[in-house]
A and B are shown apart, each in its own frame.
Chain A
Amino acid sequence: MAVNQASPRVKPPHAGKLQTSGETPPRKMPFLAKLWRDSPLLVMVAPTVIVLLLFTYIPLLGSVIAFMDYVPFLGFTGSDWVGWDNFTSLFQDQAFWHALWNTLQITFLQLLLYFPIPVLLAVFLNTVAMPLAKKFVQSVIYLPHFLSWVIIVALFQQIAGGAGVVNRFLITHGLSPFDVMSDPGTFKLLLTTQAIWKDAGWGTIIFLAAIAAIDQGLYESAVIDGAGAWRRFWHVTLPGMRPIIILLLILRLGDSLTVGFEQILLQRDAVGPGAAEVLDTYVYYNGVIDGSWGTATAAGLLKGIVSLLLVLVANKLAHRLGEEGVYQR
């Protein structure tokens, strides 16, 4: 059974470079006719365009302060221009590169360890047939998402910290304690574990929706073809979820340079900036606390550019694999 056939996301015939499918007439259609035909679609997009224009694009013009020594009371017109200084001061600081490296390491670790978990959880929940049990787990699995990092970190410490339950047990039994909360070597793993605890359940929701969208008929025909549970997963469930998995993966890549600011800020002192400084905390401690809006904006623009590159590359890769990605060719 070919993977693509099993997918409910049946592509239009001849999808790809030649846009000759029935619903998408060739380009030669006159502009006015096309406008007439597509005007409802344009009307539908209009509210979004207006909101984005007003609250994203026009304010984005304010990013010129990346090239300024911006002082709020002097405003955009009164503050001094400083050229590329805000950027070069970032590039010249070794700590900036170190923070960037830490950020990428954490992102990679989370892609590897965190990202698959909501997918697996969703698939697992999907195989549970007991309606009550399933409903119960589905309605509690995202609970930790609503607790603040302060609470999650504090609870983590109460269990695994230097004086936590585990270590108290070790101390009272004459064993040597180990403190995972202040070990720079394992800090990135600690962050990932905490992130899984807090947000993996929340993340399953979208995948549950993806599974819900799979055509049940495909399972039936798979069973008729004699497919077992594993093959049904491999040939029906997974292909059904694949577009959304890839979509989220690309979106996460676009967010690569953003990793748990508050979570890290709370624990940075315990392991030191060497292990814990990420881009956002670096910008915070080297720009924001000085009220240096220019530095913060410059860093924001850099992040945007890097994200853009990552998304483009990832999207290209998705296309190579025959996926839609976020953006078609």
Chain B
Amino acid sequence: MTFQSFGKPLSRRTMLKGAGLGAALVTFGGPLAACGSGSGGSGSTSTAAKAVPIPTYVPPVKPKPLLEGNAQGLMDVYASFPMDGPKTVNEPVGDGGEFNVMIMTYGQPAPPLQENAYWQLLNKELNLQVKPVQVPFDSFDQKFPAMVAGDDLPEVVSVPLYQNISRLPQLAEAQFTDLSEYLSGDAVKKYPNLAGIQEAAWLNGYLNGRIYGVPKSDPVYTAQMYTKTDVIQAAGANPQPKNLAEFKELAKAVTNAKAGVYAFGNSISELMQMSFGVPNKWTRNSDGTFTSAYEHAGFVAAIAEMAGMYKAGYFHPDTPTMMKNKVQRDALFRSGKLAMAMDGTRAFGIVADEKDLVVGMMVPFEKDGGKALYWQGGGAYAMTMLKKTSDKKKVDRFLRVLNYVAAPFGSKESFVMSYGADGSDYTMKKNVATLTVRGQREQDLGLAYIVGGPQVLCDPQGAPGIDQANYEWQKQVVPTILANPAAHLYSQTQNTKGTSLEQQMQDAITSVFLGRDPASSLTSAVQKWKQNGGDQIAKEYAEAAAKAG
């Protein structure tokens, strides 16, 4: 009967919004009233010394891509998995022992070991008995704290960075191994595939200025605006508007209420804010203080503009309920009832796997046709940590395993990780490996989520040209990306109440968007947000930034 009792209601999926928001949800912690002990950051966290040097980057040896990416985040494109790639791991990895790892997963559990050729192959390659503890993503915020409280975390723990981990820096210090001496600077060269991970990702492995986690890289971009190009062209509109007026023209042209076709089916708040020049969460001013993006002049104007478009009827009438119903949104988009859809990066994979979908990506624009900007992602999806140990051998084994898993795309090890065992997991057609349904299932162990360098685009079974289209999009977007200056800073207030504060802002945005409240209400919402903790967060970020130097 109490709220937190057994039959804990289902849908934690609602915590996951667009990618941009997801990246912002990196908090957790104690109650609101604990300001006394919490403010300003107590404990060891804030007294951290300057950070240890970043692991030295050694570019990985890779097969030649179809289209070459760059270090700024533009991804390599491959037509199919190169079968002539290098072997990157030459010495034995494991010791035949168990490798218990907690992974947050998104799919169904992989078939058990006896029936799982992929898993068996992996055990053999690694010379280990891999034992994943899978935690479904929507229940992570329940299971993880319970395991922490019961001291039941396995030896290796991989946590997605958008999940709220209560006082992660203190937790890490108390329970996880400081990996700095093994990874900082040139030390990482002992594990060449880990040295192939770039700085933007490594920054996410730092806590208290020291390295506690090995990261899994993520694309630099966050959400994308997907366009149903055939629908847009049929309406005679331009899928790449250069300014707000053209964008609205496009929305108007594709909307056809009688035919049930609408421009949008969910909030486009991020796109609108970017077009109004709203910065990425925070701005660090020249005097070292931090200002929230909510205080930017463009913020209220952007939401007001979106509300106007809602009122004009460019949004599907089911938008209010569809914001929490991705299934319906996707169905409508695929069947051409929605001309555009804003979604996270993983949605790209889903879109790309639909062979006959005519789809494109909209390049962000500035409202008056000026220089556009695009919010950068955090650089990594997850980090993987090792339970506290002083046994150097254990640490070495852990890093050797990660070194294997992180093997760059195109390498022999990466092929094993991606495709598994010949015959049962994949088949070869014209030198192109294709996963079987069974192979897809067997991979759901989730190891692909724990560590890795830059990702690539490679969808040989997807819609033709989709990867090239994404590459072209990235080529235009990557130079415009804007980082969040607070991305790798720790604020105790953000950790303990940032998520609920953000939720209140999202509620206020939704109310204006759907026309329940006037745009002016956002101004007071921002004031409230500042008073309830926003100002405190800004102050703590400024302090943390000053300390980090």
Contacting residues of chain B (298-318) with chain A, CB-CB under 8 angstroms: 316-318
Residues of A within 8 A of B112 (CB): none
Which of B3, B148, B324, B499 has a CB less than 8 Å from the CB of A296?
B3
Residues of A within 8 A of B497 (CB): 290, 292
In contact, B3 and A85 (Cβ under 8 angstroms): no
From known contacts A73-B166, A267-B321, infer whether A285 and B30 are also in contact, taking CB-CB under 8 Å: no
Bound: A73/B148 CA distance, A: 6
* A271 at interface by CB-CB < 8 Å: yes
Q: Mark A255-285, 1 if CB is under 8 A from B, else 0.
A: 1001001100111011111100001100111
Residues of B within 8 A of A255 (CB): 1
Select the stretch in A7-15, A38-46, A148-156, A196-204 that faces chain B.
Answer: A148-156
In contact, B149 and A294 (Cβ under 8 angstroms): no
In contact, A182 and B324 (Cβ under 8 angstroms): no
In contact, A291 and B145 (Cβ under 8 angstroms): yes
From known contacts A269-B323, A300-B3, infer whether A73 and B171 are also in contact, taking CB-CB under 8 Å: yes
Contacting residues of chain A (285-307) with chain B, CB-CB under 8 angstroms: 285-297, 299-301, 303-304, 307
Separation in Å of the B300 CB from the closest CB of chain A?
18
Residues of A within 8 A of B392 (CB): none
In contact, B317 and A179 (Cβ under 8 angstroms): yes
In contact, B164 and A162 (Cβ under 8 angstroms): no
Majority DSSP secondary structure for residues of A touching B: helix
Select the stretch in B9-17, B211-219, B406-414, B541-549 that faces chain A.
Answer: B9-17
Q: CB-nearest residue of chain A relative to B507?
A: A273
| Chain B interface residues toward A at CB < 8 A | 1-5, 9-11, 14-15, 27-34, 37-38, 141, 145-146, 148-149, 164, 166-167, 170-171, 174-175, 257-258, 260, 316-321, 323-325, 327-328, 496-500, 503-504, 507, 510-511, 514, 516
In contact, A270 and B164 (Cβ under 8 angstroms): no
Residues of B within 8 A of A280 (CB): 3, 9
Which of B11, B34, B317, B496 has a CB less than 8 Å from the CB of A150?
B11
Bound: A293/B179 CA distance, A: 31
Q: CB-nearest residue of chain A relative to B497?
A: A290
Separation in Å of the A25 CB from the closest CB of chain B?
36
* Chain A interface size, under 10 / 10 to 19 / 20 to 34 / 35 or more: 35 or more
In contact, B32 and A266 (Cβ under 8 angstroms): no
Separation in Å of the B164 CB from the closest CB of chain A?
5
In contact, A291 and B320 (Cβ under 8 angstroms): no
Residues of A within 8 A of B503 (CB): 285, 289
Residues of B within 8 A of A301 (CB): 2
Separation in Å of the A188 CB from the closest CB of chain B?
16
Residues of A within 8 A of B328 (CB): 154, 157
In contact, B260 and A289 (Cβ under 8 angstroms): no
In contact, A181 and B321 (Cβ under 8 angstroms): yes
In contact, A292 and B320 (Cβ under 8 angstroms): no
Bound: A288/B10 CA distance, A: 14
In contact, B1 and A80 (Cβ under 8 angstroms): no
Residues of A within 8 A of B146 (CB): 72
Residues of B within 8 A of A271 (CB): 320
Which of A88, A177, A270 has a CB less than 8 Å from the CB of B33?
A88
From known contacts A157-B321, A289-B500, infer whether A86 and B31 are also in contact, taking CB-CB under 8 Å: yes
Residues of B within 8 A of A164 (CB): 318
Q: CB-nearest residue of chain B relative to A289?
A: B499
From known contacts A291-B28, A304-B1, infer whether A163 and B316 are also in contact, taking CB-CB under 8 Å: yes
In contact, A291 and B164 (Cβ under 8 angstroms): yes
Q: CB-nearest residue of chain B relative to A264?
A: B9
Bound: A172/B258 CA distance, A: 7
* A24 at interface by CB-CB < 8 Å: no
Which of B10, B33, B516 has a CB less than 8 Å from the CB of A82?
B33
From known contacts A86-B31, A162-B319, A270-B320, infer whether A286 and B174 are also in contact, taking CB-CB under 8 Å: no
From known contacts A72-B149, A148-B10, infer whether A86 and B320 are also in contact, taking CB-CB under 8 Å: no
The list of the 4 closest CB pairs from A to B, nearest first, reads A162-B317, A85-B33, A300-B2, A270-B320
Separation in Å of the B259 CB from the closest CB of chain A?
10
